[in-house]
Every structure is written in structure tokens, then in C-alpha cells.
């Protein structure tokens, strides 16, 4: 690959990563694409998906897959839990000091756990008030 092309790819990846790290909204690839375009006007959605895949493989981000709806992405790769508001659709982080599911629970799995996710569904504080 040419050096120019390599540099361009690196810049695109950096912009995508920064967009993701600068939001707490757990955005979709479409949203990341729209934001990244403000800095790299000709960036394609395919490029966004490709770079998200690379960042996932590098363990720098995580993907939150909710089955039928579009995946969301999280710039924080550390294990933490999410709250999904069934009214406004927002995906929020639990408080940073919230404890994780205990080793006891994970040990009760019918196999060796290598990772786990937890989502709680309900009505967020904004929607409640």
C-alpha cells in the first residue's frame, strides 16, 4: 500500500475513534459517519464500518448488538453495564463504580465464560421527570 493511502487510512481511523470517544451516546455507524464527515467530507459509510471492525479487533471499542435494531458502538472497551430507555431509546452507562456480576454468577454458567454483557431496560430519569 502506498504511503499516501496508508496515511489517509490512519487519519480516517483516528477521526472515527475520536468521534466515538467524544460521545456518551453509544452511537450507530450512521451517526458516526455523519460526524466523521465534518472532518473528512468524502469518508464513506463502508470505510466507517471497516474501521469500526478494526477497532473492535484491536479491543479499543465495543459493539452493542441489540438484535433487530442497528448495532451501537462504545468507545469504552472496559466491562460495564448499560441501561436502555424503552421510552426515548437512549443507551446510558451505569455509574462507573457499579459492581459487575459476581464470579459466583459467572461460575454457574454451563461453560467457560470469556466475556459478558448486561443490559437493563426501563425508563430513564429524564423520561421519568
Tell me the closest approach of the beta carbon of residue 129 to Zn ion, in angstroms. 10
23 vs 39, beta carbon nearer Zn ion: 23
Residue linked to cell 459466583: 104
d(CA 6, CA 64): 29
List residues bridging with 64 in a β-sheet. 72
Distance CA 36, CA 6 (A): 18
45 binds, among Zn ion, Mn ion, none (CB under 5 to 8 A by kind): none
Q: Residues 31 to 90: which contact Zn ion by CB under 5 A?
A: 85, 87-88
Binding site for Mn ion (CB under 5 A): 74, 93
From the list Mn ion, Zn ion, none, which binds 35 (C-beta under 5 to 8 Å, kind-based)? Answer: none
Q: Which does 93 bind (CB under 5 to 8 A by kind): Mn ion, Zn ion, none?
A: Mn ion
C-beta closer to Mn ion: residue 11 or 24: 24
74 binds, among Zn ion, Mn ion, none (CB under 5 to 8 A by kind): Mn ion
Instruction: Report the C-alpha gap between 46 and 55 in whole angstroms.
Output: 14
Please enumerate, as own/partner, the contacts of 33-37 that have beta carbons within 8 Å and a separation of 24 or more. 36/12
Distance CA 118, CA 29 (A): 21
Output the smallest distance, CB 125 to Zn ion, in A.
8
Contacting residues toward Zn ion, per CB under 5 A: 85, 87-88, 124, 127
Amino acid at each position: 500500500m502506498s504511503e499516501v493511502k496508508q496515511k489517509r487510512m490512519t487519519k480516517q481511523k483516528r477521526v472515527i475513534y475520536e468521534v466515538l470517544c467524544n460521545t456518551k451516546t453509544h452511537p450507530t455507524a450512521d451517526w458516526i459517519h455523519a460526524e466523521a464527515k465534518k472532518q473528512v467530507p468524502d469518508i464513506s459509510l463502508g470505510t466507517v464500518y471497516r474501521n469500526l471492525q478494526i477497532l473492535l479487533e484491536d479491543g479499543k471499542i465495543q459493539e452493542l448488538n441489540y438484535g433487530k435494531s442497528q448495532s451501537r458502538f462504545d468507545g469504552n472497551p472496559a466491562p460495564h453495564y448499560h441501561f436502555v430507555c424503552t421510552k426515548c431509546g437512549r443507551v446510558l452507562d451505569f455509574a462507573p463504580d457499579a459492581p459487575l456480576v459476581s464470579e459466583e454468577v459467572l461460575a454457574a454458567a454451563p461453560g467457560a465464560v470469556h466475556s459478558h454483557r448486561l443490559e437493563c431496560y426501563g425508563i430513564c430519569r429524564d423520561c421519568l421527570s
